[in-house]
A = this chain, B = another copy of it.
Amino acid sequence: MFGCLVAGRLVQAAPQQVAEDKFVFDLPDYENINHVVVFMLGTIPFPDGMGGSVYFCYPDQSGMAVWQLLGFVTNEKPSAIFKISGLKSGKGSQHPFGAMNLPQTPTVAQIGISVELLENLAQQTPVASAAVSSVDSFTEFTQKMLDNFYNFASSFAVTQAQMTPNPSEAFIPANVVLKW
């Protein structure tokens, strides 16, 4: 479903699936990496109304995982290039991989992809220095997210009318991701 490519190295197309909606690529020798490309393989799209947040994870001096949000991939923008060489001294950000305790090796970083609702992605702010292409700017992304959310919300209104009211039920059933 996802591919990951470090500039200069072989492409990776088989991430480790660490949770139903979370995928991780290892980046060996990450100190010598400048750019990382994350892309959808084109075989399976995201379910309607969902996309992926892309995180960079590296071990700090005490071996703890530091996560930073790089950006997003969606069905409308299924690939992105990120510059990670400037991030290694940055602060961590909130992330959804908290409880996973990925093994930390001093020279190995990770790319993590979390499949989430587009409306949730639109509320997250990537580290600015990770953006490579001005065409893929965050402003444009936010506009697309707003468009997507409108489409998503519109489609939901129909679905909701057909649902049995149940306040404890999640907004989107978790098995949407499972099926996909």
- What is A's interface to B at a CB cutoff of 8 Å? 3, 5-11, 32-35, 37, 39-42, 77-81, 132-136
Complex contacts, A9 vs chain B, CB 8 Å:
78-79
Are the C-beta atoms of A136 and B7 separated by less than 8 Å? yes
Determine which of B3, B40, B77, B134 lies in contact with A34 in the assembled complex, contact meaning CB atoms within 8 Å.
B134
Are the C-beta atoms of B8 and A3 separated by less than 8 Å? no
Residue of B nearest to A34 (CB): B133
Given A7-B81, A8-B77, A34-B135, 19 additional A-B pairs, CB 8 A: A5-B5, A5-B37, A5-B79, A6-B79, A7-B132, A7-B135, A8-B78, A8-B79, A8-B80, A8-B135, A9-B78, A10-B42, A11-B42, A11-B79, A33-B135, A34-B132, A34-B133, A35-B132, A37-B37
Complex contacts, A78 vs chain B, CB 8 Å:
8-11
A-B contact pairs, 24 of them (CB 8 A): A3-B11, A5-B5, A5-B37, A5-B79, A6-B79, A7-B37, A7-B135, A8-B77, A8-B79, A8-B80, A8-B135, A9-B79, A11-B39, A11-B41, A11-B42, A32-B135, A34-B132, A34-B134, A34-B135, A34-B136, A35-B81, A35-B132, A35-B133, A132-B132
